[in-house]
A = this chain, B = another copy of it.
Amino acid sequence: QMPRGNLETIHHRALVLAQLRKWLDGLKFREAFECMRKLRINLNLIYDHNPKVFLENVASFIQQLNSINHINLFLTELKEEDTTSSMYPRPDGSPVQPQAAPGQKKVDVVCDALRTTMESMDPNKFSLSILTAHVKKTVPELEIALQKVHELRENPPEAPGGVSAEEALKYLLFLVNVNDLYEHSLGTYDFDLVLMVAEKSQKDPKEYLPFLNMLKSLEPNYQRYTIDRHLKRYRKALVHLSKCGQEHFTEVLQLVKEQKLYSEALRLYPADSPQYKFLSCAYAEHLVEQQRAEEGGLLLWRCGEPVRALQAFTSSSSWRNAICVAQQIPLPPDQLALLARDLAEKLTEQRRYSEAALLLDQYAKDCEEAILALITGGVWEEALRLIYMHKRQDITETNLKPALLEALNTQVVFLEAQVATFTRHKSRLAVVREQKEKARLDMLDEDGPDCPDAELYSEASSVITASKYSQSNSRISSRSSKNRRKAERKKLSLKEGSPMEDKALMHVIGEIITTVDKMREEIHGLLRALVLFQFDKQAEKLQRVYDEALQMMEGSVLEVWPEGLQNTSAPVTGPNSTANSIMASFQQQQKPAASQQDAEVPAAPKMRNGIKWKLTILK
């Protein structure tokens, strides 16, 4: 019986849905199903109406339907969509039903629930529905379905209602594309099954028989490898190929390189086998190309390739490993010294002076170079330690003291520049904020609180503060908000009048604070060294300059990042106010709060006041 007309159907449906809900709540699945089928109502509603209750009563559902065709109809109509939020909204006031299995797909949950229930009830009777449940999953389980068909052929059901393999296969071909089914039958490595599918298909035997015959002639593991490769299942292909003996190892290596299956391949051979070594070397080469030379070095070293490992470690500045490998080889002393110098140079370029000094001192046996590296890096105490260790006090006068005074000068100049930049940005920030506040108040004044369009203007004023960049701030996942933040930082511009100038200024001010705050340890070390060599006056100056810089910056944090809301607006109620004006005014007030809280506002830096850097002996 077809619906008779649009208008009537719509009215009809509203009533029908109410009735359906009653039936479903009463677990009267058959009545509901029949009605829905007749009136072409989407069958998903049976589940969507109350997922939890449905899953608890799957057996009753199957018994009530009591029809392979009906069950199949239900299964094939399953969609991921929730019909109670799209086609058939719930009546107002009724609670939203939670997903029964969060994280899993609805279709898979329903297919699995029905299938296991039918298997426990009567696998023979329901065999076609069971096949449907396999095939309809979001990733169709074609191989399992094919296996079940094959089983029916091997052991035909004795019960009278049973389905033959023939029928089952026919049904499968009705559900699934024939080529897909053929490929998947190949994947079972069961040639009977393959032939069975091939025969039922429209495929030309001249096409598939030679291929199948060729496969049949192969050694079983190599056969499976060939099939896996044909089906692009490279991991499985690798496992089977690895079982084909040493003569196929070149193919293994090729497959591994082609498909980058290094880790998987290593797992297939014992660590002391020559294959393991070959694979490790190939993997290491790949890692070096991927800028992962250190990991490559570890693989080479442990599989007994120290010379190649040394290369990998050296290229990745992994100097401790490089030196160990070099001593294991063992490299002759002069070459070890050269290596150490090489590594030290790289480390110096990366400003890793202490490590460079260790190499120069202990492996290149060049204490003078080591001490000079430490002095260059401002590692004063360690420099002094080597000076005393090697009795090279002469370097104190020739290099250490002049370097100390130079470092002092550099730091003072640097700090003064930072303070100047900081002050400039802070003053500018005050100006920018004042201008924005003025623009906001002007906007309010002009259009008056009686203007019913005030909401529109509140939008306009937010354009002034955040320009076009403030869109799409709602519902952001962690990942996308991270990208967004990165993208927005790029848009921040210090150019005067740029729409985000205030945020750009806050960002730069925060960076200066962090930079200066990070200097605590360095300044502490420099102060101690200066005092040791009686440069008290200079040390006092540095301590004063740094102290003033830190205090000035700490004192500015609350100014740059004020706490709480800014209550600048005039009272909003009064004889002339309306509900709209009050709301608009509150929204205006909320604007700065919301934009303050926005992820895009640079956060206030934390100062590490726990790090004590001052010397009490300096005033």
Interface residues in chain A, defined as those with a beta carbon under 8 Å from any beta carbon in chain B: 262-264, 266, 271, 283, 287, 290, 292, 294-295, 298-299, 301-302, 320-321, 323-324, 327-328, 362, 381-382, 384-385, 387-389, 391, 473, 476, 478, 481, 528, 531-534, 536, 554-555, 557-558, 563-565, 572-573, 577, 579-580, 582-583, 586, 590, 593-594, 596-599, 603, 615-619
Instruction: Check if A295 sits within 8 Å of B478, measured CB to CB.
Output: no
A521 to B536, CA, bound (A): 39
Q: Which of B302, B594, B616 contacts A564 (CB 8 A)?
A: B594
Taking a contact as CB atoms under 8 Å apart, the answer to whether B481 and A558 are in contact is: yes
Q: Would A324 and B579 count as touching, CB distance under 8 A?
A: no
Q: Is the CB of B323 within 8 A of A388?
A: yes
A583: chain B residues within 8 A (beta carbon): 572-573, 582, 586
Nearest chain B CB to A454's CB is how many angstroms away? 13
Interchain CA distance A589-B534 in the complex, whole Å: 63
**22 contacts across the A-B interface (CB closer than 8 A):** A263-B617, A263-B619, A266-B536, A283-B617, A295-B616, A298-B532, A320-B385, A323-B385, A323-B388, A324-B385, A327-B389, A328-B388, A478-B555, A478-B557, A478-B558, A565-B590, A572-B583, A579-B582, A582-B582, A582-B586, A590-B590, A597-B597
Which B residues touch A577, using CB under 8 A?
579
Taking the closest CB of chain B, its distance from the CB of A613, in whole angstroms, is: 12
Taking CB atoms, residues of chain B closer than 8 Å to A532 are 298, 301-302
Q: Which residues of B contact A301 (CB under 8 A)?
A: 532
Would A478 and B384 count as touching, CB distance under 8 A?
no
Q: Are B302 and A531 in contact (CB under 8 A)?
A: yes
Q: Tell me the number of copies of this protein.
A: 2
The interface residues of chain B lying within 8 Å CB-to-CB of A388 are 323-324, 327-328
Q: Enumerate chain B residues within 8 angstroms of A385, measured Cβ to Cβ.
A: 320, 323-324
Contacts of A533 in B (CB 8 A): 302
- Sorted nearest first, the 9 A-B pairs with minimum C-beta distance are A324-B388, A320-B381, A327-B388, A586-B586, A320-B385, A295-B617, A298-B532, A478-B558, A298-B531
User: Which of B287, B563, B580 contacts A616 (CB under 8 A)?
Assistant: B287
A406 to chain B, nearest CB (A): 20
Closest residue to A555 on the B side, CB-wise?
Answer: B478
Across the two chains, which residue of chain B brings its CB closest to A390?
A: B327
Contact among B287, B298, B381, B617 with A528 in the assembled complex (CB-CB below 8 Å): B298
B residues in contact with A579, CB < 8 Å: 573, 577, 579, 582
Q: Which residues of B contact A384 (CB under 8 A)?
A: 320-321, 324
Cβ B617 vs Cβ A299 within 8 A: yes
Alpha-carbon distance between A532 and B324 when the two chains are bound, in angstroms: 12
What residue in chain B is nearest A381 (Cβ atoms)?
B320
Chain B residues lying within 8 Å of A266, measured Cβ to Cβ, are 536
Which residues of B sit under 8 angstroms from A476, Cβ to Cβ? 563
- Residues from chain B with Cβ under 8 Å of A617 in the complex: 262-263, 283, 287, 295, 298-299
Interface centre among A271, A385, A565 (most CB of B within 10 A): A385
Known: A362-B389, A577-B579, A597-B596. A321 touches B263 (CB 8 A): no
Closest to A294 in B: B528
Report the separation of the CA atoms of residues A292 and B271 in the bound assembly, to the nearest whole angstrom. Answer: 56
